[in-house]
Amino acid sequence: MESRLGDGLKKIILMGIGAAAMTAEKSQQIVDELVKKGELTVEQGKELNQELKRNVKKSIDEAAAAAKEKEAEAEKKAEGLEKQISDMSAEELEKLKEAIRKAEENAGSED
């Protein structure tokens, strides 16, 4: 279970990084166009570009921190569930298995 949670969060983080990189690249193109048109000086363009890079890095760092926090919460919940399951009687486990089978059947019929 742990690796599936980690893989999913990694994919989300990578998608966020990809989106941020695309945004940064597009922003760079816009700044370059403004400099070419003379609406910004080269120095202003460099400053603006640096500011954009800092903002993108900050956004990526914040997203990564939030993802790590969510992963830790999910792991804690998973550990709690494992503990609850290990404390169940044989009868309770059978009821749980039956509920899971029914849920899987319902999920299968929705596809």
Could you read off the pLDDT of 41-98 as tens digits, one per residue?
A: 888 878 887 888 888 888 888 888 888 888 888 889 999 999 999 999 999 999 999 9
Q: Which domain holds residue 52?
A: 2-110
- Cβ-based burial of 42 (10 A; exposed 0-12, middle 13-18, buried ≥19): exposed
pTM (2 decimals)?
Answer: 0.53
Rounded Cα distance between 96 and 88, Å, is: 10
Rounded Cα distance between 27 and 25, Å, is: 5
Q: Is the pLDDT confidence value at 17 over 80?
A: no
- Count how many domains the chain has: 1
Q: Is the pLDDT confidence value at 1 over 50?
A: no
Give the dihedral of Cα atoms 53, 58, 64, 70; nearest 10 deg: -150
